């Protein structure tokens, strides 16, 4: 049997990274077994539909490199999602089938009647179901004739699932084991709404069945719905085709107190969306490598049983199994996400990074060659957490120094030494800057000849070249900047720092 999984978001806004993790775990299972990964947009709740959300979901998955492997084909090997709103007629037919089999019923109650029902119980425990349904207006409580008349007159109705009393519903969850739910606790969920649209529960089950889904992998927040879903499979007589369930652990706030929400991004000052949404930067804009993000997300709730943390996607595919997913919530630690990105920067070759950097540099208005960028990457690699750091922290590789470290200037910059520094400029003109070691040797020899100390001269050079003491090794910097630029910067520093 081939594995078929789906990621089934509702287009109610941007995906948060919890959604990406759900998509990733589905993707990994499908890839591991040569199966199929489907994207299904669950857009039957028109009240919650958000313009642009579907496109966002598609683009986010694409950016992460976990695109669907089946769907509405574009003819270029890419697949668009299935959309429930385009399958509307189909759900109706299934809902009616359940009414016919007496597994579901029509309910005509108005919003006011429903409100009154709830008011009968001060604790608000009352739900529409086995304990209340006969007091309400539906095809179980009303005479057959009246039901027929109401339907013929086009009175608005919903279709509800009829839940039997005193049953124990068993959900076999691949992560949580057996979960038992008493049917007496369950309400008669609406399957079809008055507007003719199915609810999540009905459309989700019908589609999982028709799309031959073998594993339902989704967030823990859907566990309470699973009992209804099992009952729906039974009501349709589809038990044999029922997929296996796996409810993923919650992603928790950094302090472990509750589920990470979309609002936490702004609250804690880190991205929670893969791509920018409504003016808030996503992981992409902050500068994450999508591979590093996936690696980080894979470890939110899963590990391979060892201490290993860095996994290429191919390794994840190879090692992933639902049995190794934890039950308990996984805390979202942003510093850990940054650590992963830094590891990916270190892992990538200078050439690959330079290629990724090229468009970013161009966007900043820096016209530089790939070769130069490769050198800059080599220079700054240990200092960069994000790709943009090469351009931000290392801006002085692309434009003149904007500010000089005032404390160091005060300590090390001696006006009266200007003639000596001019002599240093002269020396630099004669050096072979292709080779950092020989440049170092020559400059140090010069320092000695002039009766100076290394600790007096190198900081001055460093400040002139980068404005800061934090930069890379000074002779490496000199080789990258080149002779003309080094001399120009020394002169600029004299002029600026020696001004009266």
Name which of 138 and 204 has its Cβ closer to ligand GLU: 204
3-state secondary structure of 32: helix
- Cα distance from N-terminal residue to C-terminal residue, the chain: 82
In angstroms, give the least distance from the CB of 176 to ligand GLU. 16
- Long-range CB contacts for residues 139-146, cutoff 8 Å, separation at least 24: 139/99, 139/105, 139/106, 139/107, 140/105, 142/108
On the 0-12 / 13-18 / 19+ scale of CB atoms within 10 A, 430 is: exposed
What would the 3-class secondary structure string for 381-415 be? HHHCCCHHHHHHCCHHHCCCCCCCCHHHHHHHCCH
Binding status of residue 8 toward ligand GLU by CB under 6 A: yes
Q: Which residues are identified as catalytic?
A: 262
* Residue span binding ligand GLU (CB under 6 A) among the ranges 8-16, 132-140, 233-241, 306-314: 8-16
Token duo for residue 35: 């199966």
Stretch that binds ligand GLU, among 3-11, 179-187, 261-269, 487-495 (CB under 6 A): 3-11
* Matching residue, tokens 């409810």: 247
CB of 3 to ligand GLU, least distance (A): 16
Cα separation of 27 and 25, whole Å? 5
CA 320, distance to chain mean position in Å, is 19
Closest approach, Cβ 284 to ligand GLU, in A, equals 22
> What residues from 392 to 421 belong to the interface with ligand GLU (CB under 6 A)?
none
Minimum Å distance from CB 74 to ligand GLU?
23
Pick from 23, 25, 42, 386: which binds ligand GLU (CB under 6 A)?
A: 42
Residue 8 or residue 337: which is nearer to ligand GLU going by CB?
Answer: 8
Stretch that binds ligand GLU, among 5-13, 93-101, 349-357, 390-398 (CB under 6 A): 5-13
Report the site for ligand GLU in 153-172 (rule: CB under 6 A).
none
Nearer to ligand GLU, 38 or 397 (CB): 38
- Residue 96 token pair: 């009616």
Distance CA 426, CA 440 (A): 15
CB of 308 to ligand GLU, least distance (A): 29
* DSSP secondary structure letters along 140-198: TTS-HHHHHHHHHTT---EEEE-PPSS-EEEEEETTTEEEEEEGGG----EEE-TTSPB
Alpha-carbon radius of gyration of the chain: 32
Structure tokens at 70: 């089946």
Complex with ligand GLU: residue 238 or 398, whichever CB lies closer? 238
Report, in Å, the least distance between residue 472 CB and ligand GLU: 47
> Is the Cβ of residue 243 or residue 472 nearer to ligand GLU in the bound state?
243
Between 210 and 346, name the residue whose CB sits nearer to ligand GLU.
210
Count residues binding ligand GLU (CB under 6 A).
Answer: 9
Taken in order 465, 466, 468, 469, the sign of the CA dihedral is negative
Show Cβ contacts of residue 385 under 8 Å, excluding neighbours closer than 6 positions: 287, 338, 341, 342, 345
In which order are the strands placed within the sheet that holds 4-7?
A: 82-83, 36-41, 4-7, 215-219, 244-248, 168-173, 177-182
Residue 173 found at the interface with ligand GLU (CB under 6 A):
no
**Residue nearer to ligand GLU on the CB measure, 147 or 211:** 211
The reply to whether 84 sits near ligand GLU by the rule CB under 6 A is no
- 295-314 binders of ligand GLU (CB under 6 A): none
Q: In this chain, which of 4, 5, 9, 186 binds ligand GLU, going by CB under 6 A? A: 9
Min dist CB 344 to ligand GLU, Å, is: 29
What angle, 0 to 180 degrees and rounded to 10, lies between the N-to-C axes of helices 17-32 and 290-298?
Answer: 80
Site for ligand GLU in 210-239 (CB under 6 A): 216, 218, 222
Q: Which is nearer to ligand GLU, 19 or 394 (CB)?
A: 19
Q: Select 80 or 482, whichever has its Cβ closest to ligand GLU.
A: 80
Q: How far is the CB of 160 from ligand GLU (least distance, A)?
A: 20
Candidates 37, 91, 108, 200: give the one binding ligand GLU (CB under 6 A). 200
How many Å apart are CA 366 and CA 275, to the nearest integer? Answer: 25
- Comparing CB distances to ligand GLU, the nearer of 10 and 295 is 10
Q: How far apart are CA 243 and CA 5, in angstroms?
A: 9
Min CB(9)–ligand GLU separation in Å: 5
What whole-number distance in Å separates Cα of residue 22 and Cα of residue 29? 11
- Angstrom CA distances, 277 to 178, 337, 356, stand at 39, 20, 23
**Choice from 69, 139, 204, 348 touching ligand GLU (CB under 6 A):** 204
Residue ranges binding ligand GLU (CB under 6 A): 8-10, 42, 200, 204, 216, 218, 222
């Amino acid at each position: 049997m081939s594995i078929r999984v789906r990621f089934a978001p509702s287009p109610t806004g941007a995906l948060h990274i919890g959604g990406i993790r759900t998509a990733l775990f589905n993707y990994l299972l499908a890839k591991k077994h040569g199966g199929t990964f489907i994207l299904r947009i669950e857009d039957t709740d028109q009240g919650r539909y958000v313009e642009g959300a579907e496109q966002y979901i598609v683009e986010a998955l694409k950016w992460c490199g976990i695109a669907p492997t089946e769907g509405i084909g574009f003819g270029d090997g890419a697949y668009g999602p299935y959309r429930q709103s385009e399958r509307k007629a189909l759900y109706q037919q299934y809902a009616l089938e359940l009414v016919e089999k007496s597994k579901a019923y029509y309910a005509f109650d108005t919003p006011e009647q429903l409100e009154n029902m709830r008011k009968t119980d001060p604790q608000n425990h009352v739900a529409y179901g086995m304990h209340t349904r006969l007091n309400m207006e539906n095809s179980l409580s009303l005479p057959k004739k009246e039901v027929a008349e109401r339907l013929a007159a086009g009175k608005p109705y919903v279709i509800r699932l009829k839940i039997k009393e005193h049953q124990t519903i068993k959900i076999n969850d691949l992560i949580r084991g057996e979960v038992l739910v008493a049917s007496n606790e369950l309400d008669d969920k609406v399957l079809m709404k008055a507007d003719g649209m199915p609810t999540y529960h009905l459309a989700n089950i019908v589609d999982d069945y028709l799309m031959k889904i073998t594993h339902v992998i989704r967030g823990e927040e859907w566990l309470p719905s699973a009992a209804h879903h099992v009952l729906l499979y039974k009501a349709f007589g589809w038990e044999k085709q029922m997929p296996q369930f796996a409810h993923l652990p919650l992603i928790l706030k950094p302090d472990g107190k509750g589920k990470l929400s979309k609002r936490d991004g702004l609250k804690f000052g880190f991205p929670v969306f893969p791509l920018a949404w409504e003016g808030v930067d996503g992981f992409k804009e902050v500068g994450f490598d999508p591979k590093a993000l996936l690696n980080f997300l894979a470890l939110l709730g899963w590990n391979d049983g060892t201490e290993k943390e860095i996994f290429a996607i191919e390794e994840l595919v190879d090692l992933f199994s639902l049995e190794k997913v934890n039950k308990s919530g996984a805390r979202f630690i942003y510093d850990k996400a940054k650590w992963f990105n830094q590891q990916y920067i270190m892992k990538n070759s200078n050439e690959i990074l330079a290629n990724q950097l090229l468009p970013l540099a161009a966007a900043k208005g820096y016209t530089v060659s790939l070769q130069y960028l490769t050198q800059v990457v080599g220079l700054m690699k240990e200092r960069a957490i994000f790709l943009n750091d090469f351009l931000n922290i290392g801006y002085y590789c692309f434009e003149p120094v904007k500010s000089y470290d005032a404390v160091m200037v005060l300590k090390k910059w001696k006006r009266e030494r200007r003639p000596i520094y001019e002599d240093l400029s002269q020396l630099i003109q004669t050096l072979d800057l292709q080779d950092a070691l020989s440049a170092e040797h020559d400059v140090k020899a010069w320092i000695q000849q002039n009766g100076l100390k290394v600790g007096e001269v190198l900081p001055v050079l460093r400040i002139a070249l980068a404005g800061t003491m934090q930069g890379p090794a000074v002779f490496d910097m000199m080789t990258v900047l080149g002779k003309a630029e080094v001399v120009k910067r020394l002169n600029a520093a004299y002029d600026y720092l020696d001004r009266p």
